[in-house]
Amino acid sequence: MNKPLSDKSWQYRQLNAVTPGLDALSDALLELVAAGEPVVAGTADLQYSNGLSKFHRLHPERFVQFGISEQNMVSAAAGMAAVGMKPYVATFASFLALLCCEQIRMDVAYSKLPVRLIGHHAGISLGFYGTSHHATEDLAIMRSIANLTVIAPADGNQLMEVIKASNDYPHPIYIRTQRGRDPEVYANRQPFTIGKAISHFSGTDLTIIATGSTVHPALEATRALRRAGASVGFIDMATVKPIDRDAILEAAAQSPQILTVEEHNVLGGLGGAVAEVLSSEGLPVKLTRHGIYDEYSLIAPPTHLYVHYELDAKGIEARAVKLLEGVS
């Protein structure tokens, strides 16, 4: 490993050493390459932030560095897919979902091309970078685009299985990830089925449904509530579109209340998707959506922001307790 240029500088080339979760994306793609798949990868000047530097190092002939040109990257990926390649392109979620929305809609989704769009550092995980880099609208935007599947893995192991499952999937996919520092939810890799939720617990008082980065803290909150005697269920809704209607309806049949938790605006994301299912069935279940309450998130370290917005385990548990006590 190269010596730091300065003890005060950011060492992006050394991030993988302290953030092993950054290897997940490259490792999953390397497995596909080893299996003979025509995988190619690209990024917009962020190979050290998303871990694709490892893939680049081992397969430079399969890697494209697009520079700060995200829209061109998406259009080029569509072209690669059109000639039989399997492109996986990655950049900050705020840039991918918002800046590249037109290219995703017209070049990728409208054409039904199997491009895998990886929006990393989603939600408020970029902290001090501020509003321009926070992605709290991406789930709503991406799931409203026809032909586009939307998945938010909970940790590195699940991400690797999502990549594996995406290999022969016929539709384009938006994969929402964090910054490689995600706490482990799944100790071992488990086969992932696109469109199928993972139920951890059933509950007769309340069911919590979370996706992506909120799965770990929401699962911790669920366990604490169950230890305290409450019957609380938990569902990891990794696939936000197509959403697992059966899992939602089963939870609604068991619990009088459902709490959705997401690192996203409460409008249009996971909570909105669950609300659509419940309302279309006319079910008398109280739904509470927890996340960013239709505002631009503050600027601070991510850990501080999660506490502020009650998206940490204690905050989610507190929200759930209020619901269990009948306090809205």
DSSP-derived secondary structure for 244-263: -HHHHHHHHHH-SEEEEEEE
Q: What percent of the chain has pLDDT over 70?
A: 93
Task: At 135, list the tokens.
Answer: 């992605």
Whole-angstrom distance, CA of residue 268 vs CA of residue 271: 7
Q: Enter the CATH code of domain 198-325.
A: 3.40.50.920
> For 208-248, how does the pLDDT look when each residue is reduced to its tens digit (9 = 90+)?
999 999 999 999 999 999 999 999 999 999 999 999 999 99
Yes or no: say if 283 and 187 are a contact pair by the CB < 8 Å rule: no
Whether the full predicted model's pTM is greater than 0.95, yes or no, is no
So what's the pLDDT on residue 17? 55
Q: Sorting pLDDT into bands at 50, 70 and 90, what band is 20?
A: low
Q: Enter the CATH code of domain 10-176.
A: 3.40.50.970
Q: Sorting pLDDT into bands at 50, 70 and 90, what band is 3?
A: low
So what's the pLDDT on residue 8? 47
Strands 86-92 and 149-151: unpaired
Give yes or no for residue 103 having a pLDDT over 70: yes
So what's the pLDDT on residue 327? 64
Mean pLDDT (whole number) for 165-173: 97
So what's the pLDDT on residue 5? 47
What's the Cα-to-Cα distance from 104 to each of 81, 85, 300, 308, rounded to whole Å?
13, 17, 30, 33
So what's the pLDDT on residue 108? 98
Residue written as tokens 């999953």?
A: 28
Domain residue limits, the chain: 10-176, 198-325
Yes or no: say if 262 and 131 are a contact pair by the CB < 8 Å rule: no
Whole-angstrom distance, CA of residue 196 vs CA of residue 188: 18
Mean pLDDT (whole number) for 284-293: 96
Give yes or no for residue 51 having a pLDDT over 90: no
Identical fold, 10-176 and 198-325? yes
- Sign for the CA dihedral angle at 290, 294, 295, 296 comes to positive
So what's the pLDDT on residue 6? 47
Sheet strand arrangement including 63-65 = 63-65, 39-43, 86-92, 116-120, 173-176, 149-151, 239-241
